Structure 1
Amino acid sequence: MNWDDLRIFLAVARTGTLSAAGRRLGLDATTVARRLGRLEVEAGRSLFEVTPAGHILTARGQDLLGHAQTMESAAIACAEGAQAGLQASGTIRVSVAEGFGTSVIAPHLHEFADAHPGIGVELVASSGFLNLSRREADVAVMLARPQRGPLVARKLTDYNLGIYGRRGVARPLSSIADLGEERLVGYVPDLIYAPELHYLEETAPGLSATLSSTSVNAQAAMIRSGAGIGILHCFVGDLDPLLERLLPEEVDIARSYWLVMHRDLRGVARVKAFVDWLDGLVTRMRPLMVGRP
């Protein structure tokens, strides 16, 4: 089978639509459909069922998927071998939690770009994470260790969160019990995408946000404006001169970030270069990460 056609097959399997696969590969949807059709003729049967939700793998498609992924892994290894000794190059897509991406990686990313001018970085900082098993990203910094998939994971760093208010506006608090009398800022309860984000419930049962957002950056902006108090990462709150930490001895939430990648990418030069740089960055920032500046 033609490897270029198999690349298209993998892109459709991972994205679920011809148009999304085309965008990923830099092809138009018509070309993707034509090449996929050629592969299905060669395979002797349909590889996808076309549904309103997108392209779903058939049984034959599932069988081919494993073989195509093996060929992809071999192609990556061959490319890395050919580039051994050369300067790392290419593009790496990094999926990270919004707060970490905005406040930790983005302000320092120029350091990586200066050190590795041949590597482009696509920083996807949002609520939720791209799927590494489906190769939607090369590396992810996640809130928890994934339990399945062809992935390798290790703890990247611990971090802490505390409760913050606008300096000079938030009234002094004597205990956690006082939080029930405050206007709280937090996540939209039914849109929380990970159990690690249930900060208010962990702080005290029954606490709920009056002002809420799916974006931690929006929450920080509300707290900064004096609209209310809320729980933020220490690497956000402690760096903001408009914010002050409240009840630091009583509200000190500990979490960890996990570095995750597809197992086939461990030895890829551009991935290794980014991971090494990120390790150095979080080591430098560790006191701030854990709220001990």
Structure 2
Amino acid sequence: MENWDDIRVFLAVARAESLSGAAPALKMDPATLSRRIARLEDRLGAALFLKSPQGYALTERGLRLQAHAARAEAALALVAETGEAERGLTGQIRIGAPDGCANFVLPQVCAAIQARNPGLELQILALPRVVNLSKREADMAITVSRPETGRLMVQKVTDYRLHLAQRRDAPVPESLAALGARAMVGYIPDMIFDRELDYLGDLGATAVPLASNSVSVQLQMLRHAGIGIVHDFALPFAPELTRVLTDQLSLTRAFWLVRHAADRRSERLNRFAAMLLAGLRAEVARLEAGRLTEGITRRDG
């Protein structure tokens, strides 16, 4: 195996598919990365990437090296974890999540876990799209649909509920049929990245006059005007809003925890995943009950 630092650079560029994409995580500039990749290719006597203005694509030799390097990376991680079971978790863990979960649930859960593990650095990656685990954008991800493809470990986190909500001082519509007279708040239809986020069909609508690709922005819109579908766990953060027509429209969705299959033997990530699952389940239940001010349940799971 080549110098591990060079292999680490190779893996980062392979996953990011560009020098500029890999540079921030490695804390190196693209020019330095280009020299490092060229040096590795010279030593191996083969091109590892097809380079173009669109980015860096792996050659057949590069694909073979990536497979070997990824296995070596996983083995090194296992060695680094030796003895960690008796200590608190350490190092960096990045979690990808849709912005509803990232804004209203994950911060409290991560804060509680980090308080019990001071050597742990937790990062929340909130994106209006599905996080790409194969490119190592994150160590694990929360999704709203169960992945059907890929070498992944998938665990159901919990169900969560959504209802129509509006300002408390606004007139309550008599029925779903009366919603046409109100300004609806929701997702931008062509930017819905997961079918489970498409709520308009449940309302018989095709578009909304107040739209955003962000759940947090939608909630802020509703604090000023309109009516829209809101996560029950977000409502404690907007006390001026109230649920309406709950007997006529009630939606249930689920969160899933998705991880790399290669991390199955990682005791460190398994321990963290157990804490995360327990914390998320407790926090969603607490918020759905409308309890914002209570301390989060602190369990290792």
Structure-1-length-normalised TM-score: 0.91
Moved more, 154-163 or 267-276: 267-276
Using the alignment, how far apart are the partners of 2:270 and 2:71 within structure 1? 21
Residue in 2 that maps onto 1:263: 261
Q: 1:250 aligns with which of 238, 248, 251?
A: 248
Residue in 2 that maps onto 1:123: 124
Summarize deviations over 1:130-162 as a string: whole Å, max 9, x none. Answer: 211121101111111122222101111101111
Residue identity matched to 2:229:
I
Deviation at 1:290, TM superposition (A): 5.8
The 3-state SS of whatever aligns with 1:285 is helix
Residue in 2 that maps onto 1:214: 213
| Structure 2: tracts of 5 or more residues without a match | 292-301
Q: Does 1:70 align with 2:68?
A: no
Structure-2-length-normalised TM-score: 0.89
Using the alignment, how far apart are the partners of 1:82 and 1:286 within structure 2? 33
Summarize deviations over 1:48-104 as a string: whole Å, max 9, x none. Answer: 111111111112212222112122122222222364534321010110110111111
Using the alignment, how far apart are the partners of 1:263 and 1:41 within structure 2? 32
Gap change, CA 1:27 and 1:124, over 3 Å in 2: same
The 3-state SS of whatever aligns with 1:81 is coil
CA contact (8 A) 2:236 2:290 kept: no
Residue in 1 that maps onto 2:270: 272
Query: What is the correspondence of 1:136-147 to structure 2 with a 5 Å cutoff?
Result: 136-147=137-148
Query: What is the correspondence of 1:1-293 to structure 2 with a 5 Å cutoff?
Result: 1-81=2-82, 83-169=84-170, 171-201=171-201, 203-225=202-224, 227-288=225-286
CA contact (8 A) 1:142 1:258 kept: yes
CA contact (8 A) 2:157 2:281 kept: no
Gap change, CA 1:109 and 1:69, over 3 Å in 2: closer
Gap change, CA 1:251 and 1:259, over 3 Å in 2: same
Using the alignment, how far apart are the partners of 2:130 and 2:190 within structure 1? 17
Using the alignment, how far apart are the partners of 2:177 and 2:274 within structure 1? 44
Using the alignment, how far apart are the partners of 1:28 and 1:238 within structure 2? 44
RMSD: 2.0
Residue identity matched to 1:79:
A
CA contact (8 A) 1:161 1:291 kept: no
Using the alignment, how far apart are the partners of 2:86 and 2:107 within structure 1? 29
Deviation at 1:259, TM superposition (A): 0.3
| Structure 1: tracts of 5 or more residues without a match | none
Deviation at 1:239, TM superposition (A): 4.9
Query: Runs of at least 4 residues of structure 1 off by over 6 A?
Result: none
Gap change, CA 1:286 and 1:190, over 3 Å in 2: closer
The 3-state SS of whatever aligns with 1:250 is coil
Residue identity matched to 1:36:
I
Using the alignment, how far apart are the partners of 1:190 and 1:283 within structure 2? 31
How many residues in Structure 1 have an aligned counterpart in Structure 2?
290
Residue identity matched to 1:3:
W
Summarize deviations over 1:156-194 as a string: whole Å, max 9, x none. Answer: 11011111001112x222221112221101111111111
Deviation at 1:234, TM superposition (A): 0.6
Gap change, CA 1:33 and 1:83, over 3 Å in 2: farther
The 3-state SS of whatever aligns with 2:205 is coil
Deviation at 1:6, TM superposition (A): 1.4
Summarize deviations over 1:185-210 as a string: whole Å, max 9, x none. Answer: 11111111111111022x13234211
Identity %: 37
Residue identity matched to 1:173:
P
The 3-state SS of whatever aligns with 1:172 is coil
The 3-state SS of whatever aligns with 1:148 is coil
CA contact (8 A) 2:186 2:229 kept: yes
The 3-state SS of whatever aligns with 1:13 is helix
Gap change, CA 1:269 and 1:70, over 3 Å in 2: closer
